[in-house]
Amino acid sequence: NNIYLYFCIQNFIFHFESYIFLSKSILPVYVIHRAEFHTFKIFWYIYIFRALNFLSVFLLFFLIFICPILAIFFLYSNAFFFCYISSAETFCIT
């Protein structure tokens, strides 16, 4: 299990830049110009919205890709080997 978590963390770090890119392309954030801000609170609301925007995209990828992989891994954890296939790399734990 520790080896699987290590490779999962490595794979997440490898795809981290693509997650950031997709968070900007799938859910675009329209930033209001600073001259249009009337109060300081609105400025912080925009930053909170950007953080929630990135978090929602990360949760979307987690639900679509990582959760099924974890489910398959724990379902077949008693098997002799486990293969993890992604768009960038493929490796098997024996």
Q: What pLDDT is attached to residue 77?
A: 59
Which region among 24-28, 76-80, 86-90 has the lowest average model confidence (pLDDT)? 24-28
Buried b / exposed e over 49-68, threshold 16 CB at 10 Å, is eeeebbeebbeebeeeeeee
Question: What range defines the domain where residue 10 resides?
Answer: 2-93
Q: What pLDDT is attached to residue 59?
A: 72
SS3 content of the chain, % helix, strand, coil (to 5): 65, 10, 25
Using a pLDDT cut of 70, give the percent of the chain over it.
11
Average pLDDT for the chain: 57
CA separation (Å) from 36 to 32, 48, 53?
A: 7, 18, 22
The tokens of 30 are what? 């329209």
- What is the number of structural domains in the chain? 1
The tokens of 86 are what? 């992604």
**pTM higher than the cut 0.85:** no
